[in-house]
Amino acid sequence: MDMNQATFSPRIMRHFVETLSAEVGRDTYHAILSKSGLSSDWQKPEFFLTLDEVQAAEAYSKLQFELRTNYGRGARGILLRIGSKLWEPMLGTAPFAVRTQSAFVRNLPKPMRRKPALDLLAGMLGTKRGGISVHTLDTDLLLVDQVSPTTLNQKENSPICFVTLGLIRECLYWATGDEHDIEEQECKGAGARQCEFKITIGA
């Protein structure tokens, strides 16, 4: 497999479709598939478990593109909510080692949970070693996604990784109980080399 090829977990893709269908309604989801000329197989979330990681990335990008096309500016809020709601099923069905790590994160003192929580998310999303990393910026944090399957074959004028943004937000809320200011500052879909999400911690 080409190390530069975008990949995505079929297991998470299944959860994404289940969450998407619940958010917009099953009938609306099916109508979007039909209008977009996408396979009726995509109506069944379990179908995505039959895909490999490259095919799952292509489907992940394509579905988000169709949502942005159908909903215009309203797609941002829908995709953010999907990202937020995706965190729980992702974590709940993660391998035992990941769930053990999550318990360790929650037992840390609250001020120390943010980066380990983001490392946990990066490990779940990343199918390639080092594809997603978390960095400390003085008091703030930066999540860098070099693979970014959302942006596969996409060319937009502004950042489009709303699902990832929602996941980061929910991950940090799960870890700390606090809301955080999160901004996608760079996006591969808008021509950047990688996607960068700045998490402002504040005082």
pLDDT per residue over 109-159, tens digit each? 999 999 999 999 999 998 777 799 999 998 899 999 999 999 999 999 999
Residue 164: its pLDDT value, please? 98
Rounded to whole angstroms, how far apart are CA atoms 84 and 106? 18
d(CA 72, CA 128): 32
**CB-based burial label for 172 (10 Å; 0-12, 13-18, 19+):** buried
User: pLDDT confidence of 203, banded at 50, 70, 90?
Assistant: low
Q: Return the pLDDT at 126.
A: 83
91-115: average pLDDT: 95
**Exposure of 189 by Cβ count < 10 A (0-12 exposed, 13-18 middle, 19+ buried)?**
buried
**Of the candidates 18, 130, 103, 121, the residue with the CA atom closest to the CA atom of residue 63:** 18
Q: How far is C-alpha 29 from the geometric centre of its chain's CA atoms?
A: 19
For the domain spanning 10-200, the CATH number is 3.90.1520.10
- Measured distance CA(8)–CA(51) in Å, rounded: 10
On the CB side of 200, how many CA atoms lie within 13 Å of its CA? 7
Residue 8: its pLDDT value, please? 96
Task: Decide: 49 and 10 in contact? Cβ < 8 Å.
Answer: yes
Predicted TM-score (pTM) of the model is: 0.95
Instruction: Please tell me the distance from the alpha carbon of residue 11 to that of residue 8, in angstroms, as a whole number.
Output: 9
User: Looking at residue 146, what DSSP letter applies?
Assistant: S
What is the structure's pLDDT at 134? 97
Q: Write down the domain spans for the chain.
A: 10-200
pLDDT at residue 4 in the model: 66
pLDDT tens-digit map of 14-40: 999 999 999 999 999 999 999 999 999
What mean pLDDT value characterizes the chain?
95
pLDDT at site 2? 52
pLDDT of res. 1: 45
